[in-house]
Amino acid sequence: AQKVTQAQTEISVVEKEDVTLDCVYETRDTTYYLFWYKQPPSGELVFLIRRNSFDEQNEISGRYSWNFQKSTSSFNFTITASQVVDSAVYFCALSAPSGGYQKVTFGIGTKLQVIP
Amino acid sequence: NAGVTQTPKFRVLKTGQSMTLLCAQDMNHEYMYWYRQDPGMGLRLIHYSVGEGTTAKGEVPDGYNVSRLKKQNFLLGLESAAPSQTSVYFCASSLPYGHEQFFGPGTRLTVL
């Protein structure tokens, strides 16, 4: 069985603050993939990043950074100097083999509100 | 490239009515998925397909049927709609083996 936990259902920050969104996952597989998606108020789902289980390098893309730690089964997402446009629901997802198919499990999402 | 498109964008049904949601992708992806999104529950997989002519049940398949007669299309059917099926439905497609999913814009369905 695989599971993704996003314990923070809603977070509010003031613009320019840094914020970290937590993601904890469970899987018995040694090969798996982790993802973050963004869902802005307009409703579409946008892919942000993909990580495989063998690559624990942290990644930085502009104001976004991701910290993958296998030892704690976590894949956390940090936004530096948050902006109002970052207001969205963010989903963490796990993809792992299941019956010849890559099963994808999403967390329930973290709603981030950035207050101007 | 249009990516993933969904038809219709909005629909209101009465209990017991039937309808079909159409998903189309132009990226030649093997995998396609149907999800429903409900408040506080994230995205839940209804059905998925790993190739033309194949479909399989996801986490919440009851009350839905699907077909994938062509690689680029994935249809989701509701034979007898119930108020519990009021939701936002998302279609997605991807390459195999853990690649990211590309999502359609969603269909907001209300069942009265």
Write the pLDDT tens digit of every residue in B10-47: 999 999 999 999 999 999 999 999 999 998 888 999 99
Look at residue B105 in the predicted model and tell me its pLDDT: 96
Q: What is the DSSP pairing of strand B73-78 with strand B19-25? A: antiparallel
Query: Chain A partners of B45 at a C-beta cutoff of 8 Å?
Result: 104
pLDDT tens-digit map of B41-100: 889 999 999 999 999 999 899 999 999 999 999 999 999 999 999 999 999 999 987 889
Measure the CA–CA gap between B112 and B90, rounded to whole angstroms: 20
Look at residue A91 in the predicted model and tell me its pLDDT: 97
Look at residue A51 in the predicted model and tell me its pLDDT: 92
Look at residue A49 in the predicted model and tell me its pLDDT: 93
Pick out chain A residues at pLDDT < 70. 100
Residues of chain B with pLDDT > 70, as a percent, come to 100
- Whether chain A has a CB inside 8 Å of the CB on B5: the answer is no
A71-110 residues touching B, CB cutoff 8 A:
91, 95, 100-102, 104, 106-109
Look at residue A58 in the predicted model and tell me its pLDDT: 85
Measure the CA–CA gap between A100 and A92, rounded to whole angstroms: 22
Look at residue B98 in the predicted model and tell me its pLDDT: 81
Candidates B40, B48, B100; nearest CB to A47: B100
User: What are the residues whose beta carbons fall under 8 Å from the beta carbon of A71, sequence distance 6 or more?
Assistant: none
Q: Is the pLDDT of residue B1 over 90?
A: no
Candidates B45, B56, B105; nearest CB to A44: B105
Contact B43/A106, CB-based, under 8 Å?
yes
Among chain B residues, the shortest Cα distance to A91 is held by B42
Please, are residues A35 and A95 in contact by the beta-carbon 8 Å criterion?
yes
